[in-house]
Amino acid sequence: MRDIRDYSLLGHNTFGIDAKCSRFLEYADETEARLVAKILREEGQPFLIVGGGSNLLLTRDFEGIVVHSAIKGCEVKGTEMTCGSGMTWDDVVALSLDASLYGMENLSLIPGDVGASAVQNIGAYGVEAKDLIVRVEAVEIATGETCTLTNADCQYGYRDSRFKHDWKNRYLMLRVTYRLATEYRPRLDYGNIRAELECKGISEPTAWQLRETIIDIRRQKLPDPEVTGNAGSFFMNPVVTREKYEELAAQYEGMPHYTIDAEHEKIPAGWLIDQCGWKGRALGRAGVHSKQALVLVNLGGATGNEIVALCEQIRHDVRERFEIDIHPEVNII
């Protein structure tokens, strides 16, 4: 187990914010997770559980303990794939295809770790982690006991779960089990997947071709955090009533939308932000990516508070123009 004092979190957040924590604990197996839970109980300090840091914005040093999982490994049994919470998510997607198991392809290149997939209910191009998760194994911090949580227990919603609410800071993730399919059924009707495939001259992609196409799309739209600090999509796409959608559709011909149910439509937050003129603009050292308005970027040396100020100005402008509230997907500390 790693136990480090006065630890820099620069390598644990993709925004590239050089904040520190008082103590850093990293567990690599279940026994070490139990020990970390015991330390958290006995120390009584504030603590923060982090994954790959791709959904995190630090606005200050963290005066407490930061916990990270380094549990690796994947095991396949039939159509179920059980992965360590510290595994890199995109590695797992590739491993699933190596095992001839399907369903994760549209989630290719989403940054972060396996544990975060279960907390955040990551999603892209018509697929969400909740569609695949069977169960989560975790250590309960209060008792140090290992427990198994079902998909239903987690109460998943759009980029949401109980881990973000009444279960926040209650568990240390060990493993996540996903149920995949042996029959490949590509989902191509979300976003610009078909258009990108047509550009490649592909009408019926293999699973690997679909994965590579998703990766290409994401790389075209999203900046590399190794070059430009960012956390991917900063805002959640708002879900509005059909009445509100029809009101806006009458004003904005061709406005993109995705039907949720008979009463609700989802409108891309990136489109709303772009309509407000923010794509490619900056506020000091924080900016909006020139190719995807949903992405806020660190232009060099920005503080977390500067990025928050940009976030709030964008939210204000969207609210003023569309009477819609957009909310950060990123965890702001």
Rounded average pLDDT per 10-residue block, the chain, 333 residues: 96 93 98 98 94 91 97 97 97 98 96 94 94 98 97 94 95 98 94 92 96 94 89 93 95 92 94 97 96 95 96 98 95 93
Concatenated DSSP letters for 226-273?
A: TTSEEEEE-BPPPEEEHHHHHHHHHHSTT---EEEETTEEE--HHHHH
Concatenated DSSP letters for 87-111?
A: SBHHHHHHHHHHTT-BS-GGGTT--
To which residue do tokens 């973000």 refer?
164
Domains of the chain: 2-69 (3.30.43.10), 74-179 (3.30.465.10), 229-332 (3.90.78.10)
Tokens of 298: 């660190």
Q: Which residues contact 48 (CB under 8 A, 6 or more apart)?
A: 21, 62, 64, 65, 66, 67, 333
**What's the CA gap between 247 and 241, in Å, rounded?**
10
In the residue annotation, 22 being an active-site residue is answered as no
Q: What is the DSSP letter of 187?
A: -
Active-site option among 32, 128, 265, 329: 329
pLDDT at 163: 96
What are the φ and ψ backbone dihedral angles of 139, each rounded to 5 degrees?
Answer: -100, 125
**What's the CA gap between 96 and 76, in Å, rounded?**
9
Nearest alpha carbon to residue 329 among 295, 299, 280: 295
**What's the CA gap between 43 and 255, in Å, rounded?**
52
Active-site option among 26, 233, 306, 315: 233
Active-site option among 23, 34, 135, 159: 159
**What's the CA gap between 331 and 333, in Å, rounded?**
6
Tokens of 261: 């149910």
pLDDT at 182: 97
**What's the CA gap between 245 and 231, in Å, rounded?**
28
Strands 295-298 and 229-233: antiparallel
In the residue annotation, 233 being an active-site residue is answered as yes
Nearest alpha carbon to residue 207 among 119, 104, 320: 104
Nearest alpha carbon to residue 31 among 146, 168, 142: 146
pLDDT at 232: 87
In the residue annotation, 312 being an active-site residue is answered as no
